[in-house]
Structure 1
Amino acid sequence: MAQAELPADCTARPIDPDTDLPAVQHLVNTCERALDGTATTDAGALAAVLARPGLDPAADTLLVHTGDGRLVGWAWTDRRTDADVHPDYRGRGLGTALLRWIEQRARERGTAELAQIVPDRDPAATALLTAHGFRADVTSWLLAIDLAGLPADLPPAPEGLTVRPFRAGDPADEQAAHRLTEDAFDEWQQRRKDFDEWAANTVRRPAFAADRSPLAFADGHLVGAALALDLPDTGEGYVETVAVHAGHRHRGIARHLLRHTFHACRAAGLRSCTLWTHSATGALDLYLKAGMTVRHSSTVLKKTLA
């Protein structure tokens, strides 16, 4: 079993999903605030990580505590990987120790390639991974729009289209949205997510905002969806997923759905709305034309394991 080589005053153990999530969220949010001034990771996002098919929390996660019980680092690995070190504890080799544990555990699992998203505004993390053989793969962008500048009224829907909000807890909406989004992303995603994994990240996540998540129908069939989250600590709306059926693209459906979400966020008293996209999707121009601007970027770094 993989073991981490830690500073002398630290100990390591796997996460206990029943008791450790609040402390892990606090650590992750502390790291986010140190980097960006705001925290965006909610408990539902961390729970979805631990529920990834094939991830065993007892073997594929690691928590690092100081002698007084303070959580100062954590990591997980399952094809994708991630690690966080408390800002007060950086520069002591803990990040290197976590990275070595990640690679050792990945080799035990038989993982062929690791992938980690690193903010471009964190050059120390980028330098650490590149020094250990990771290479840049694709770029991700966080885009935002100032909701105060929106037109007062929504434009009319594209011809032949009807739009309504997602019906929270409706199995029909959930299953249809799952099929639509997984079909739409088949072109570039590494694997299809089954319904339970997909739902844990979207419609069954506690932060899911059904009233800000419009669905577009043509002839009674779902052809587009924009699925939004409520992240109240940020004061912003967030779009988790935008998807349009391949046979209905280039009709302005995605842009129209975004406008619905933007207006719903403004009606909820939010000042702005954000979303992530990356270079493999080719969707950056869509969001720029919808009035969004790039706030900052990240790079997906990958390493092939021997």
Structure 2
Amino acid sequence: MPFFAPVLPPGYRSQPASVDDVDAIHALVLDCEGAVNGQVQTDAGSIAAVFARPGLIPNLDTVLVRHRSGRLAAWAWVDRRSEVDVHPNHRGRGLGAALLDWVGERALQAGSERVVQTVPDSEAGTVDLVRSRGYAPMVTAWLMEFTMLDEPFVPEAPPGIVVRPLRAGDEPATHLLVQDAFDEWQERRQAYAEWAKNTVDRPTFVPALSPLAFHNGQLVGAALSLDVPESGEGYVEQIAVRRDQRGRGIARHLLRYVFRAFHQAGQRSCTLWTHSGTGALDLYLRVGMTVRYGATVFRKELRA
């Protein structure tokens, strides 16, 4: 099947993306994040993980948009979920609308029943655009932050719980724990290879700052941390507790452990993303985190 090209404004051309473009895409995304939020979060590993999605075909499901000058102006991908990023210097020219239309048409062509797009609440124009294309709100997402001028206090672990950093060989059990814990709200389970590409195999993953919790020698909790140099702060990519061990304070303890570890490493803030479908917002508020900003996850039913 040939590449399905978007209909672009004059002065732009498109082509599929590949793993060779990860660094250029990363630079584009950092410029977008800096313009929208004043801070960056994305590392190159998260871009590379897009190409590892098992259902994504790079030659069909990704697109790079270049200006006539040769500069990268935008990119997009779609595989049930989707993302569209337009460089700040090229906004207001119709690229976002063109790529959003491409996302919907390519998803329909691939046989998808729906497509999901996350939009920062601060981008009112983009919110209006996705709504105009038939997207409806699905869940609310929040970037939570914990600021720490002083070293955070970490109380004793809950009774019977032993906590230590992740070690080589812990990865398969951690993967199973996370998938079981996330079954309640995630759309599908991730195979180990895909999960690892998003977590333990990322260059920014820090095992020493990723505590695991054990009860009677069995893994019951995990917090997986990233140190993204461009962001200047710590980041918790995933936190999970086995269902039968919830309500004991294990997640709170793991978070405080991570906060202190990042403080000792020289960071003065730590962040994580959550959304209303997880039911975890109250947990993060109880450990002293606050909402930095919000976003809305929109969904479009393609066969309605």
Q: Which band: TM-score by shorter chain? A: over 0.9
Deviation at 1:185, TM superposition (A): 0.5
- Determine the C-alpha separation between the residues in 2 that align with 1:242 and 1:150: 21
Counterparts of 1:46-195 in structure 2, within 5 Å, are 46-151=47-152, 153-167=153-167, 170-171=168-169, 173-195=170-192
Q: Say yes or no: does 1:217 pair with 2:222.
A: no
Amino acid at match of 2:85: D
Would the aligned equivalents of 1:32 and 1:38 in 2 still touch at CA under 8 Å? yes
- Determine the C-alpha separation between the residues in 2 that align with 1:247 and 1:97: 47
Amino acid at match of 1:183: D
Task: Say which SS state the counterpart of residue 139 (structure 2) adopts.
Answer: strand
Amino acid at match of 1:268: A
- Determine the C-alpha separation between the residues in 2 that align with 1:12 and 1:138: 32
Task: Say which SS state the counterpart of residue 203 (structure 1) adopts.
Answer: coil
Which stretch has the larger CA shift, 180-189 or 3-12?
A: 3-12
Would the aligned equivalents of 2:158 and 2:250 in 1 still touch at CA under 8 Å? yes
Task: Say which SS state the counterpart of residue 148 (structure 1) adopts.
Answer: coil
- Determine the C-alpha separation between the residues in 2 that align with 1:24 and 1:231: 16
Name the residue aligned to 1:242: 239
- Determine the C-alpha separation between the residues in 1 that align with 2:160 and 2:123: 46
Task: Say which SS state the counterpart of residue 276 (structure 1) adopts.
Answer: strand
Would the aligned equivalents of 1:139 and 1:298 in 2 still touch at CA under 8 Å? yes
TM-superposition CA deviations, 1:83-110 (whole Å, max 9, x none): 0111111111111111111111111100
Q: Please, which of 4, 24, 43 is the counterpart of residue 6 of structure 2? A: 4
Amino acid at match of 1:10: Y
Name the residue aligned to 2:257: 260
Q: Please, which of 189, 200, 210 is the counterpart of residue 197 of structure 2? A: 200
Would the aligned equivalents of 1:236 and 1:271 in 2 still touch at CA under 8 Å? yes
- Determine the C-alpha separation between the residues in 2 that align with 1:3 and 1:107: 14
- Determine the C-alpha separation between the residues in 2 that align with 1:177 and 1:189: 17
Deviation at 1:149, TM superposition (A): 4.4
Give the alignment's Cα RMSD to 1 decimal.
Answer: 0.9
Would the aligned equivalents of 2:165 and 2:210 in 1 still touch at CA under 8 Å? yes
Deviation at 1:150, TM superposition (A): 4.6
Would the aligned equivalents of 2:141 and 2:275 in 1 still touch at CA under 8 Å? yes
Structure 2: runs of 5+ lacking an equivalent:
none
Would the aligned equivalents of 1:2 and 1:104 in 2 still touch at CA under 8 Å? no
Q: Please, which of 5, 15, 18 is the counterpart of residue 17 of structure 2? A: 15
Query: Identity across aligned pairs (percent)?
Result: 53
Would the aligned equivalents of 1:182 and 1:193 in 2 still touch at CA under 8 Å? yes
Would the aligned equivalents of 2:237 and 2:272 in 1 still touch at CA under 8 Å? yes
- Determine the C-alpha separation between the residues in 1 that align with 2:163 and 2:283: 19
- Determine the C-alpha separation between the residues in 2 that align with 1:289 and 1:52: 34
- Determine the C-alpha separation between the residues in 2 that align with 1:142 and 1:257: 18
Q: Say yes or no: does 1:292 pair with 2:289.
A: yes
Task: Say which SS state the counterpart of residue 233 (structure 1) adopts.
Answer: coil
Amino acid at match of 1:223: V
TM-score, length of structure 2 as denominator length? 0.97
Deviation at 1:2, TM superposition (A): 2.3
- Determine the C-alpha separation between the residues in 2 that align with 1:100 and 1:162: 51
Deviation at 1:154, TM superposition (A): 2.1
TM-superposition CA deviations, 1:182-239 (whole Å, max 9, x none): 0000011000000000000011111101111100000000000011000122111100
Amino acid at match of 2:55: G
Deviation at 1:35, TM superposition (A): 0.5
Task: Say which SS state the counterpart of residue 285 (structure 2) adopts.
Answer: helix
Amino acid at match of 2:6: A
